[in-house]
Amino acid sequence: MEKPPPEKSGSFSRNGNGNQMDDNPGPAGPESEAVHVRLDCQQPGECEPNSNLEEPSSDPELSLPQVLKDVDRFLESLSTRNDASNNPLDVPNSVESLLEMIQKMITKYDSSAKFGQKQEEDSSFIESLNCISKLINVLGEFPSNSTTASCFNRASTILHLAMSLLDSEFRLILETCSQGNNADLKSPKPLKQSSFSSRQESTYCVIPESKSSEDVEFPAYTSEAISKMNRIATAMISSGYESECCMVYNMVRRNAFSSELDKLGFENISIDDVQRMQWQSLEGVIAMWITVIKHSSSVLFSGERKLCSSIFSEHPSISQRLFCHIALAVAVRFVNFSDAIALTKRSAEKLFKILDMYEALRDLIPFFDDDTCSSECYEELKSEIWAAKGRLGEVAVSIFCDLENSIRRDNGRTPVPSGAVHPLTRYTMNYLKYACEYKDTLEQVFQKHQKMEGFANSNGTVLDIKNGANDDGTPKTSPFSVQLNSIMDLLDENLDMKSKLYRDPALRCIFLMNNGRYILQKIKGSDEIHDMMGDTWCRKRSSDLRQYHKAYTRETWTRLLQCLNHDGLMVNGKLSKTILKERFKMFSTMFDEIHRTQSTWVVSDDQLQSELRISVSAVVTPAYRSFVGRFQQYLASGRQPDKYIKYQPEDIENLIDELFDGNPTSMARRRT
């Protein structure tokens, strides 16, 4: 009959020297329980002598190396026996000597010395424990009623006391050497805008960026402390106390990691709290969440993995498992907040923060995606992050696609005064411009959305998605580019509908020019959106603007120029002064009306405004100068010639330069 394996208890307990220790590390699973040794006597030193033990000799006291050598020979002799049911050889005195030496070491560590102060003594202590652990394993193969039972129990008790000591030292070093890990943050720097205020130019926000791993050291353990913990962990694991060692490490480091997140300003916020918060307040929390994730990826996780690898260098699988459990606990906090944000009411202004969060989780995944992260725990960790990222991506796609509905709903029947750029145009183009700063990210989320649900345009037609550039150089077709083009088409249709609200055809052309120019300038001013729309689209838009320009010139200035036509001035072969006076008077009246009206119109783009004035002046001024130069002499000899020739060519040129300012000017300007 073999000895039963040592029973487990919930914590270490000291029974050998009267000291009591209860670390109470908290609830743990079956693998995290400590050993409870079955004792056959009250105190380790009071075990009844085995009848087969040799009587203590009167030889001089042996040194520790000699004792260890004798015990090793004894263990070797036991390991060569084929039948464990037979009584083993008599236990030599060196075993009892070794146990007494170890107990004295434990007493010394408890009373005055500290583990790690004298490396030579620590090494002897660890070597002795390894020897005792081997002894227990070998003696455990023999029947419980054998002559080795007393020795087995005494050795188990001593080992348990030693492990309790090492457990305390391990915990103490872990807890006391991680002070001062405040992760300072650099000064804020501009990043992508955090929000998009309704139909207004968006401003950039600033959020703090964490220092690089070269600036912040985490965890702040000295090399000496790590070396001590490595020796302790190796000794505990080799002695069968792996679960106790791992339980202490996991508990202390989880708390340290949580404390580090608190220092960075990241707090646990429930879903209910998130739902109640205003978006402006949530933006700040999201910015901090992103900063903490980036800091965790670049500093905290890498530091924790390095610490695990250093302490458990002889046991890589244990190191990986411990780090993964800690990282998973932290990732769950990140994911919980991400899911809470994904459940908030969706609105256009939230898109960019959602994409920032998506990118933060996306950039975190590769850290856990190398060859060293292959366990089931890592798969669970990556699965959690992937799922949270996917939920954010789905929200981003939904918000962006809802922009189409916003354009459709904007069907007001009141025209924008003076033909200015419509607020819908400003809002949509600024929104698209900023959205295209996330072009690569939006391509990813739309591609995934297209794979899950299929992709169709606004008419419901399933689109052929192409990869790479087309043969004619036009941009590739992708789910995001298709959605972008669909929005642009809807905006064009909406603006065309709004242009019909103007009764004056010329003002209708000004409105279309203003909005078309604004759209074109926004696209040309952004490499991202320009790449999405392509040169072909831009050329077509420029062609449309030229057509609007021609239409405006035709509607406004053609009738005016007819006043300067020479036809009809001659009556019976002679110039009719009456008709000539009427022509000059009609020109002045029509020009005054045009000036009075169109000086209140708005062309906000300086280049377009200049182009319009130059083109008008190029058509009107030379024709008027020629007409005045040829026929002014016929009226100069009469009374009040300026009554009919109200403007000189220079006056016309100056007045044209006052068009499209949005401010009425005096119509009573006279030649001086």
Is 665 within the bounds of a domain? no
Q: Is residue 634 predicted with pLDDT exceeding 70?
A: yes
Cβ 603 vs Cβ 660: under 8 Å: yes
Q: Are residues 114 and 87 in the same domain?
A: yes
pLDDT tens digit sequence for 419-463: 999 999 999 999 999 999 999 999 999 998 765 554 444 444 444
Which has the closest alpha carbon to 600: 658, 669, 514, 667?
A: 658
Q: Are residues 14 and 150 in the same domain?
A: yes
CATH number, domain of 635, equals: 1.20.1280.170
pLDDT for res 371: 57
Least confident interval from 57-71, 176-190, 653-667: 176-190
Q: Between the ranges 75-84, 146-155, 308-317, 448-457, where is the mean pLDDT highest?
A: 308-317
Q: Are residues 148 and 19 in the same domain?
A: yes
Is 627 within the bounds of a domain? yes
Q: Between the ranges 104-108, 185-189, 557-561, where is the mean pLDDT highest?
A: 557-561
Boundary (domain end) residue, out of 525, 556, 587? 556
Q: Is residue 662 predicted with pLDDT exceeding 60?
A: yes
Is 669 within the bounds of a domain? no
pLDDT tens digit sequence for 84-116: 555 555 778 888 888 888 888 888 887 766 776
Under the phi-then-psi rule, with left for phi > 0, alpha for psi from -120 to 50, and beta for the rest, what region is 607? alpha
pLDDT for res 556: 94
Is 205 within the bounds of a domain? yes
Boundary (domain end) residue, out of 529, 556, 583? 556
Distance CA 169, CA 174 (A): 9
Q: Are residues 545 and 577 in the same domain?
A: no
Q: Are residues 367 and 432 in the same domain?
A: no
Backbone angles phi, psi at 9, to 5 degrees: -130, 175
Q: Is residue 590 predicted with pLDDT exceeding 60?
A: yes
pLDDT for res 93: 82
Q: Are residues 171 and 198 in the same domain?
A: no
In the structure encoding, which two tokens stand for residue 215, read together? 């600036």
Q: How many CB atoms lie within 10 A of CB 409?
A: 9
pLDDT tens digit sequence for 566-587: 888 877 778 888 888 889 999 9
Cβ 387 vs Cβ 321: under 8 Å: no
Segment holding 506, helix H or strand E: helix 505-524
Distance CA 455, CA 397 (A): 12
559 vs 665 pLDDT, higher one: 559
Concatenating the DSSP letter of every residue in 228-246 gives: HHHHHHHHHHHTT-HHHHH
Q: Are residues 415 and 520 in the same domain?
A: yes
In the structure encoding, which two tokens stand for residue 524, read together? 């040309």
Is 403 within the bounds of a domain? no
Q: Are residues 160 and 221 in the same domain?
A: no
Range of the domain at 97: 7-176
Q: Are residues 262 and 202 in the same domain?
A: yes
Is 352 within the bounds of a domain? yes
Query: Can the peptide bond before residue 92 be classed as cis, meaning omega within 30 degrees of 0?
Result: no
Share of the chain above pLDDT 70, in %: 75
Q: Are residues 583 and 618 in the same domain?
A: yes
Is 671 within the bounds of a domain? no
Q: Are residues 249 and 304 in the same domain?
A: yes
Distance CA 248, CA 12 (A): 12
3-state helix, strand, coil in the chain (%, to 5): 65, 5, 35
Q: Are residues 552 and 570 in the same domain?
A: no
In the structure encoding, which two tokens stand for residue 581, read together? 């006076």
Backbone angles phi, psi at 109, to 5 degrees: -65, -35
pLDDT for res 61: 67
In the structure encoding, which two tokens stand for residue 146, read together? 């054998």
Boundary (domain end) residue, out of 142, 176, 210? 176
Domain count, the chain: 4
pLDDT tens digit sequence for 193-216: 445 554 344 333 333 444 444 444
In the structure encoding, which two tokens stand for residue 348, read together? 């256009």
Is 422 within the bounds of a domain? yes
pLDDT for res 249: 96
Which has the closest alpha carbon to 649: 586, 579, 577, 587?
A: 587
C-alpha 295, offset from chain centre: 11
pLDDT for res 6: 44
Which has the closest alpha carbon to 230: 123, 111, 155?
A: 123
